[in-house]
């Protein structure tokens, strides 16, 4: 049946079908969130039947609307919609939550119609902002972004970062549908059914708001039409009943996140199974695709021996990338002066997105942008990336491709003190699934690695240094991901010092002093912290017998652990030692900081002696 002809009665029936199928899926799985699905069933029935523009036959159609289930636990509802749209079979629906099924407990892009993984609340709307920015400001396409939100997740600050960004950017292509079912996991939400409390707040951020009965088909339909006709982003606050349609669970506490007690009875109460098939309307016209222009890249070049900060090289390389490649966008958290991402802004202001000090929204927007084919570079202080840790974690579940850059790494920033120092970032980024972690020690290396990130999959992380460091490498040198550079080597080496970033320079100074003392040591610049260059490390260990790592980072989870890990399962393990930041820093000059932290050349020389004399 054609979409435009679905009348109120048919939409009501469709809503019942979605409920029934959500109940069936959860019953088959023995777990899941049917009641959180049932509250939003009418909202989604009307969206699917009347307002969504989506070509299920051509999921890559760039004019397709986006639908994000910010309340990802309502996955049975989403999957029931896919059944109604004919995208998946009823048989597949009943594989929900079983091993090997695409229909996971929370939606992931294993399904071709799912853009991003959700399930950590408060993330769908900020990601939707990224999609809406692309449609409105970068691509100028007519698609719309629909986000189904829960009421509980409105407590997350990230939602308000999204409201602020979208309201200020005037993202009229964004619609937040809030399923106000008043019940969270352990009882009533803060505002219950007070949709006005939400409308007042969201409205104050420049959004258009509409309050409706979320089980009234007409009201829902009119709200969507009104949202489409509004130039501002719209939030629809829909008063609903959790578990709606089944008396045993409807608006009852203690019914969160579990199958309804008697699913057969519930299905009967809902009028039994239906098999309504909705012909979802496809977007009009022939889609024109984004064709990125990856022109010739002219990276900045630095003279060996000059002193240049790697953050500066990153900024200049990013600007060059922006000039060469039309797919590169840059996002800033109001620190572009410090990270040097402002160099990109100077050459490509139209692809520079200022997120102000809202790191969660910044990362979320980048996740949304990469869904649309952009190559986003996200940067702030390494320390402040921790603000977006959960978004980065979820981005790995989404399989998102993000280039993340953290500046002001380590104690080497100097007098600003520990609040500004990234000292846990290597541990965090290493522990992200399929991540790449890069840490350049000089400007040419930083420029090359900045460019290399654009073609990596998953999350790649570049750690930059605030202060100037000498340029060690010539501009034509290559730095493959997973590689390393052996900077000092002789047949008589008795120890290998492994360093990265700022400690490479300390290691070289230490090697020189040790050489003066008659002790030959090898120095490896391990600019690729993940993956590590296992072969080079093994060779060095076999030839020197001792490995000393030194990093401007806490001793846990960073370079040292990465190097040690390279020696798992080997027959002959070298003697290993690790230098990392010893104590909570205060304010001091960069050199004093490294001295206090026990990671400067003197500390390396001492550790080398200790290690060799002791063995």
CB of 164 to its own copies, least distance (A): 7
Unique residue bearing structure tokens 């040690």 = 564
A 10 A CB-CB count for 112 gives 11
Helix, strand, coil shares of the chain, percent, nearest 5, are: 40, 15, 45
185-210 as b/e, with b when 16 or more CB fall inside 10 Å? eeeebebebbbeebbebbbebbbbbb
Q: In the annotation, is 350 catalytic?
A: no
Residue 386: CB minimum distance to its own copies, A? 4
CB 378 → its own copies: shortest distance, Å?
Answer: 15
Give the Cα separation of 36 and 57 in Å (integer).
29
The one catalytic residue among 316, 359, 424, 506: 359
> At closest approach, how far in Å is the CB of 568 from its own copies?
5
Q: Which is nearer to its own copies, 287 or 418 (CB)?
A: 418
Structure-block tokens of residue 341: 């991402």
CA distances from 227 to 173, 177, 210, 215, 590 (A): 9, 10, 9, 18, 54
Q: How far apart are CA 552 and CA 505, in angstroms?
A: 12
User: Least distance to its own copies from the beta carbon of 600, Å?
Assistant: 13
As a whole number of angstroms, the distance between CA 85 and CA 79 comes to: 10
Q: Tokens 């009965």 belong to which residue?
A: 213
Return the bridge partners of 149, or none.
Answer: 178
> Which residue, 483 or 531, has its beta carbon nearer to its own copies?
531
Q: Shortest approach of its own copies to residue 211 CB, angstroms?
A: 15
Q: Which is nearer to its own copies, 217 or 581 (CB)?
A: 581
**Rounded Cα–Cα distance for residues 39 and 27 (Å):** 17
Closest to 549 in 3D by CA, of 562, 560, 539: 560
Q: How many CB atoms lie within 10 A of CB 296?
A: 7
Please name the helix (run of DSSP H) or strand (run of DSSP E) that holds residue 521, with its range, or none: strand 521-525
Nearest approach in angstroms of CB 399 to its own copies is: 8
Pull the structure tokens for residue 555: 């001793």
Nearer to its own copies, 34 or 555 (CB): 555
Q: CA 69 to CA 118: how far, in whole Å?
A: 7
If one counts every other C-beta atom within 10 angstroms of the C-beta of residue 465, the result is 29
Nearer to its own copies, 122 or 322 (CB): 122
State which residue, 104 or 221, has the beta carbon closest to its own copies: 104
Active site residues: 359
């Amino acid at each position: 049946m054609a979409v435009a002809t679905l009348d109120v009665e048919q939409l009501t029936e469709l809503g019942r079908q979605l409920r029934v199928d959500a109940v069936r899926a959860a019953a088959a799985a023995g777990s899941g969130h049917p009641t959180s699905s049932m509250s939003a069933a009418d909202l989604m029935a009307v969206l699917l039947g009347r307002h969504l523009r989506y070509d299920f036959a051509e999921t890559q159609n760039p004019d397709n609307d986006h639908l994000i289930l910010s309340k990802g636990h309502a996955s049975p509802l989403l999957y029931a919609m896919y059944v109604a749209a004919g995208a998946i079979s009823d048989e597949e629906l009943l594989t929900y939550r079983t091993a090997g099924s695409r229909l996971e407990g929370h939606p992931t892009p294993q399904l071709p119609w799912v853009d991003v993984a959700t399930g950590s609340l408060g993330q769908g709307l900020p990601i939707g902002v990224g999609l809406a920015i692309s449609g409105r400001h970068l691509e100028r396409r007519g698609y719309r972004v629909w986000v189904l939100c829960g009421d509980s997740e409105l407590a997350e600050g990230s939602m308000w970062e999204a409201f602020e960004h979208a309201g200020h950017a005037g993202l009229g292509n964004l619609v937040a549908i809030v399923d106000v079912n008043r019940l969270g996991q352990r009882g009533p939400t803060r505002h219950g059914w007070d949709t006005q409390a939400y409308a007042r707040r969201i409205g104050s951020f420049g959004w258009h708001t509409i309050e409706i009965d979320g089980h009234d088909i007409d009201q829902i339909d009119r709200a969507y039409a009104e949202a489409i006709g509004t130039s501002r982003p719209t939030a629809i606050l829909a008063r609903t009943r959790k578990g709606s349609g089944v008396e045993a669970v409807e608006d009852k506490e203690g019914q969160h996140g579990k199958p309804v007690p008697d699913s057969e009875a519930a299905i009967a109460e809902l009028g039994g199974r239906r098999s309504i098939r909705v012909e979802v309307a496809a977007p009009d016209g022939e889609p024109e695709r984004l064709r990125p222009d990856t022109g010739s890249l002219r990276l900045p070049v630095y003279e060996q021996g000059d002193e240049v900060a790697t953050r500066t090289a990153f900024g200049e390389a990013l600007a060059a990338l922006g000039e060469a490649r039309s797919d590169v966008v840059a996002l800033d958290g109001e620190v572009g002066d410090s990270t040097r991402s402002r160099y990109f802004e100077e050459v490509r202001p139209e692809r520079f997105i200022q997120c102000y000090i809202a790191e969660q929204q910044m990362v979320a927007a980048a996740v949304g942008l990469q869904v649309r084919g952009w190559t986003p570079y996200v940067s702030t202080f390494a320390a402040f990336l921790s603000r977006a840790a959960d978004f980065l974690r979820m981005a790995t579940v989404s399989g998102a491709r993000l280039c993340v850059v953290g500046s002001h790494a380590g104690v080497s920033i100097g007098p600003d003190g520990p609040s500004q120092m990234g000292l846990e970032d290597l541990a965090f980024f290493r522990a992200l699934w399929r991540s790449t972690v890069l840490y350049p020690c000089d400007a040419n290396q930083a420029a090359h690695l900045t460019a290399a990130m654009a073609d990596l999959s998953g999350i790649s992380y570049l750690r930059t240094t605030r202060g100037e460091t000498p340029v060690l490498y010539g501009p034509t040198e290559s730095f493959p991901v997973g590689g390393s550079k052996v900077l000092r080597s002789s047949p008589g080496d008795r120890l290998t010092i492994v360093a990265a970033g700022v400690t490479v320079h300390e290691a070289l100074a230490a090697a020189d002093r040790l050489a003066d003392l008659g002790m030959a040591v090898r120095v490896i610049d391990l600019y690729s912290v993940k993956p590590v260059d296992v072969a080079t490390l093994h060779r060095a260990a076999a030839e020197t017998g001792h490995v000393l790592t030194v990093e401007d980072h806490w001793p846990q989870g960073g370079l040292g652990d990465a190097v040690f890990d390279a020696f798992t399962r080997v027959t002959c393990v070298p003697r290993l030692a690790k230098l990392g930041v010893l104590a909570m820093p205060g304010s001091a000059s960069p050199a004093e900081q490294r001295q206090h932290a026990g990671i400067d050349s003197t500390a390396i020389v001492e550790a080398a002696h200790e290690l060799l004399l002791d063995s």
